[in-house]
A and B are shown apart, each in its own frame.
Chain A
Amino acid sequence: MTQSAITARNLGRRYGRAWGLQHCSLEVPAGRVVGLVGPNGAGKSTLMNLMVGLLRPTTGELELLGERVGPNTVLERVAYIDQEHSLYRDFTVREMLTAGRVLNRRWDDKIATDRLAELGIPLTAKVGRISGGQRAQVALAVALAKQPELLILDEPVASLDPLARREMMSTLMAAKADHDCTIVLSSHVVSELERLCDYLVVLDHGRVQLLGDIDELLEQHRLLFGPAVTEDLVSAHQHVLHREDLNGRVSLLVRGIRPVGDPSWQVQRVNLEELVMRYLAMPSRVAEEVFA
């Protein structure tokens, strides 16, 4: 698959005077599991709401799976699970499936019933009576029965305990192996995304700070630790993106792998969490220059 799952060009959304999202341009290849990260208020929910047609853009364009987002267009190929796992609490699980069948042309009942049977969730149970973890699983089963080509999950496990989180994500990863769709996951817990995602979009203050294939991003960056007295000599030959003072020593985030040539300096790989935190600590301007 070489098709693009998400294409945004100068996408922006204004709320009154404030921009929730601004100058957002990105292209995500189909089939990826995309981590959408950033602090609260960074624009994650705005971007997701634009993707599922709950908001209209103020500027720019947004295409999903090669189609412009709008009513009766691409949205029947997209499934969305919000933070609350919105389900009708008075419905039984079976009634949720019936509603899904009525509302979706591409519905496949068997996908949902097989999944729920495997998890031991009875179809006769009232949605309001089952545990939070089971409710999340019902929401996921309903979303998967729509046979989406793009599945969007807004903080899907934020409200769950660690065991239910793990089970939910395990189901999601197995489902991804079965049905080759593109998945977008938002989270503010970056460490969790390293094993789940292969593509990263970092938002801050309504702007894209960093994006790309996660393995490539990890290969392209290094952390250098060394004495502050030789910092200028070392950084003269490096592409330094961010620096941090640590009592007479400094830690530099650099892009590209160049020899340091000073044995008092250590070169280390950067993990995803460190990378994201450093990018979020940069002034927006720097990040834009790097990724312009």
Chain B
Amino acid sequence: MIEFRVEVGSGVPPYRQLVDQVEHALRLGHLHVGDRLPTVKEVAKRLVINPNTVLKAYRELEHKGLAKGRPGMGTFIERGLAGLPAEQQAELRADLEKWLATAHQAGMDSDGIAALVATVLHEFRPEEN
């Protein structure tokens, strides 16, 4: 089961945050095909957010083919997101951890690292390399 969170103030609409979190969980293998998403009411009550926001997020997931609503039963994960096999993910993760240790030793804090990663990722164009 996924635990949603919503942060206000970032300017990212809350429904987008929910969609991103489902995609994220699918990529990392925390959610699988057939898993049921919490009901609109559960999410609205727990996170104290507008149920329309949850509905909008679930509609968007359906539109992307990632989830499907079954009347009276709930919304279920319909399709996974092509992630790498667990082994390969673990290898890449180990490389990343090595790099993080280097950055940390060089004196960068986690905010600095996050900003650097975000910038490089933003400017990264694989097809040009």
Q: Given the interface contacts A194-B8, A268-B11, A271-B10, does A170 sit within 8 Å of B45 by beta carbon?
A: yes
Q: Given the interface contacts A170-B45, A195-B6, A272-B8, does A176 sit within 8 Å of B51 by beta carbon?
A: yes
- Tell me if B102 is interfacial: C-beta within 8 Å of chain A: no
> Is the pair B13, A196 in contact by a Cβ cutoff of 8 Å?
no
The one of B6, B11, B13, B44 that contacts A177, using a Cβ cutoff of 8 Å: B44
> Is the pair B12, A269 in contact by a Cβ cutoff of 8 Å?
yes
Q: Given the interface contacts A174-B44, A177-B41, A215-B15, does A195 sit within 8 Å of B49 by beta carbon?
A: yes
- Tell me if B81 is interfacial: C-beta within 8 Å of chain A: no
A194 nearest CB neighbor, chain B only? B8
Q: Which bracket fits the contact residues of A?
A: 20 to 34
For window 45-60 of B, CB contacts with A under 8 Å fall at 45-53, 56
> Is the pair B13, A219 in contact by a Cβ cutoff of 8 Å?
yes
Contacts of A274 on B, CB cut-off 8 Å? Answer: 11
Question: How many of chain B's residues have a CB under 8 angstroms from any CB in A?
Answer: 24
- Tell me if B9 is interfacial: C-beta within 8 Å of chain A: yes
In the assembly, what is the distance between CA of A268 and CA of B52, in Å?
26
Contacts of A176 on B, CB cut-off 8 Å? Answer: 44, 50-52
In the assembly, what is the distance between CA of A193 and CA of B45, in Å?
15
B52 nearest CB neighbor, chain A only? A198
The one of A33, A174, A273 that contacts B52, using a Cβ cutoff of 8 Å: A33
- Tell me if A270 is interfacial: C-beta within 8 Å of chain B: yes
Contacts of A169 on B, CB cut-off 8 Å? Answer: 48
Contacts of B8 on A, CB cut-off 8 Å? Answer: 191, 194-195, 271-272
Contacts of A178 on B, CB cut-off 8 Å? Answer: 41
- Tell me if A197 is interfacial: C-beta within 8 Å of chain B: yes
> Is the pair A177, B10 in contact by a Cβ cutoff of 8 Å?
no
> Is the pair B13, A173 in contact by a Cβ cutoff of 8 Å?
no
Q: Given the interface contacts A270-B11, A271-B9, does A198 sit within 8 Å of B41 by beta carbon?
A: no
The one of B9, B10, B45 that contacts A173, using a Cβ cutoff of 8 Å: B45
- Tell me if B40 is interfacial: C-beta within 8 Å of chain A: yes
- Tell me if A207 is interfacial: C-beta within 8 Å of chain B: no
Chain A to chain B contacts (Cβ below 8 Å), 28 pairs: A31-B52, A33-B50, A33-B52, A166-B48, A170-B46, A173-B44, A173-B49, A173-B50, A174-B44, A174-B45, A177-B39, A177-B40, A194-B8, A195-B14, A196-B48, A198-B50, A198-B52, A214-B13, A215-B15, A215-B56, A268-B11, A269-B11, A271-B8, A271-B9, A271-B10, A271-B11, A272-B8, A274-B11
5 A-B pairs with the lowest CB-CB distances in the bound complex, closest first: A269-B11, A177-B41, A177-B51, A174-B45, A194-B8
